[in-house]
Each structure stands twice: as C-alpha cells, then as structure tokens.
C-alpha cells in the first residue's frame, strides 16, 4: 500500500505533529542543586517526562485564529442574503495599520487586522416569491484541515473564556460556535457585547454561556403600570366590547 501524495505533503505531516504536540508535551526538568557539602555532585531527574495536557492543564492562552496576513483573511468564508437573491453586501479585507505615534490613552490599533464591512438590506427579491426574509451578513473561519489523528478540532475544555480583540461600530453582532456533535450543522450563538464602540477592546465570552439554557414563562400582557407586583390579578372580563356591544372575554 502506498500513501497518496497529499498525505505525504509537508503541511499534512506538520499539522499532525502540531496536533501531537497539542495533545501531549515532552519537557526536560532542570538538575537539582547540589547539597551544600558537595562540590562536584549533581543530582538529576529523568531527562524527559511525559505530561498529558489534561493533567498539567493549559500553560497559557491558546491561539485559535488570527488575521495577520492576506491569506488568512482570504481563507475565511463570506456569507450574506446575496446568495438567495437579497441585496445585502459583505466584504472582508486585510488592513495594515501604519506605525502609530499617538500618545492617546486609547488602545492602539494592531499592526494588521480584518475589516468586516458592507450593507444590510431587508428588500425581498422580486423573482423569488418563496423568500420571506432577508437582511443578514456574516463570515466564518475555514474548516480545519485533517491530520493523522482524523478531523482536527479546537479542544477548548481547559479554558473558560473565548477572547476576541475587536473594534465595533456599536451595532448588534453575534458569535456562532460550531461543535463536534451529532448534528454537524448545529450552531451555538452568543451576543457580542462591545463596551467601547470605536475603540479596540478585548471581549470575553464564557464557553458555558454557549451551552444549555432554560427560560420559564407563565404569561404575557400589555400594561401601563410597569411596577406591577408578581401576583397581579388578570381580569377575565375587560372593558373592551365588540361592535354588537358584547363584552370581550380574555
């Protein structure tokens, strides 16, 4: 049996090696200091120790994706209602910032970043009567390429937060996360809350916030008295009447 050329490619082997390094680490321990009474005795531990990631925990932040060069930006997939005949437009461009000499207290712009921009239109396509809703635009990072260990995924179990370095225009944005589950098309969504529109900031989203949720609801009503107590009574017979003079029952 001969391996196919793509499997022998350096990129494939490199990705597999990176995945092996991620799953485990081989570290050397420094020698112990000699006892005070000895001038030439050196105590050492085994040269290499196999440490599982799940045991030792993360050694620091784990990079997931960056937008530092044009190829990384081009690999992302753009989406909008233009695919179904809508009028929304979306673009994703690489921006290289010039060296900043500003002494402003605001966070400086990174050396390079991706700019997601365009326009949203809710106009329905006139030639597609089945389309009832438009007005969206999005982009996503590319699917990770396979390794010797199979489909490559980001193992974020040792981490609590998803961190994003962003500069927002103040509009509503959402972050979608796709997981390795029974249904591969399922997405977990969370609102991207920006606190300083127009400035660079770091936004943290708890991974658990993408998980299970629960909302219990008893009733919904219209009122002119917002501070109503929880046990407010609901009238069964209101003052509203029909054209025939009959009382409307709720």
pLDDT in the model for residue 147: 75
pLDDT at 44 over 60: no
Position 37 pLDDT exceeds 70: no
Spatial distance between the Cα atoms of 96 and 73, rounded to a whole number of angstroms:
12
Neighbours of 134 (CB within 10 A): 20
Domain residue ranges of the chain, discontinuous segments joined by +: 70-223
β-pair type (237-241, 24-27): unpaired
Q: How far apart are CA 151 and CA 64, in angstroms?
A: 16
For position 230, what pLDDT does the model report?
53
Whole-structure pTM value: 0.62
* Per-residue confidence (pLDDT) for residue 105, from 0 to 100: 58
Burial annotation 47-56 (CB, 10 A radius, 16+ → b, else e): eeeeeebeee
Residue range 159-178, pLDDT digits in tens: 999 999 999 999 999 999 98
Mean pLDDT value of segment 180-200: 86
Q: pLDDT digits over 213-237, tens only? A: 777 888 888 888 766 555 544 444 5
Comparison of pLDDT for 248 and 2, the residue scoring more: 248
Give the tokens for residue 249: 């029952």
Q: Looking at beta carbons, which pairs linking 104-112 to residues 24 or more positions away fall under 8 Å?
A: 106/199, 106/200, 107/199, 107/200, 107/201, 108/200, 109/167, 109/200, 110/165, 110/200, 111/68, 112/67, 112/68, 112/69
- Residue 181's contacts (CB-CB under 8 Å, 6 or more residues apart) are none
What pLDDT is stored for residue 35 in this prediction?
A: 42
The chain-wide mean pLDDT, for the chain, equals: 75
Q: Name the pairing type of β-strands 77-80 and 187-192.
A: unpaired
pLDDT at 43: 34
Q: What 8-state DSSP symbol labels residue 76?
A: S
pLDDT digits 0-9 by tens, 87-120:
999 999 999 988 765 555 567 889 999 999 999 9
Confidence of residue 127 (pLDDT cuts 50, 70, 90): confident
12: confidence class by pLDDT, cuts 50, 70, 90: low
70-74, 81-85, 222-226, range with the lowest pLDDT: 222-226
Mean pLDDT of 46-52: 41
- Residue 31 pLDDT more than 50? no
Query: Is it true that domain 70-223 has CATH number 2.60.40?
Result: no
Q: How many residues are listed for the chain in this entry?
A: 250
Q: Which of 117, 203, 125 minimizes the C-alpha distance to 161? A: 203
The pLDDT, as a whole number, for residue 57 is 67
């Amino acid at each position: 049996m001969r391996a196919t050329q793509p499997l022998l490619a350096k990129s494939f082997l490199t990705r597999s090696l990176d995945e092996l390094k991620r799953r485990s680490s081989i570290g050397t321990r420094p020698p112990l200091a000699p006892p005070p009474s000895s001038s030439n005795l050196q105590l050492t531990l085994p040269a290499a120790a196999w440490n599982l990631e799940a045991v030792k925990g993360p050694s620091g932040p784990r990079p997931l994706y960056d937008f530092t060069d044009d190829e990384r930006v081009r690999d992302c997939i753009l989406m909008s209602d233009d695919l179904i005949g809508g009028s929304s437009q979306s673009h994703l461009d690489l921006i290289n910032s010039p060296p900043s000499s500003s002494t402003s207290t605001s966070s400086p712009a990174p050396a390079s970043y991706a700019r997601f921009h365009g326009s949203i239109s809710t106009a329905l396509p006139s030639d597609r009567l089945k389309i009832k809703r438009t007005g969206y635009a999005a982009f996503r990072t590319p699917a990770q390429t396979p390794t010797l260990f199979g489909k490559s995924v980001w193992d974020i179990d040792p981490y609590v937060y998803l961190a994003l370095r962003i500069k927002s225009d103040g509009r509503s944005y959402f972050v979608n996360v796709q997981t390795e589950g029974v249904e591969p098309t399922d997405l977990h969504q969370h609102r991207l809350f920006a606190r300083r529109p127009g400035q660079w900031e770091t936004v943290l989203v708890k991974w658990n916030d993408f998980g299970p949720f629960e909302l219990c609801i008893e009733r919904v009503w219209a009122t002119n008295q917002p501070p109503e107590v929880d046990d407010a009574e609901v009238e069964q017979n209101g003052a509203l009447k029909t054209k025939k003079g009959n009382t409307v029952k709720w």
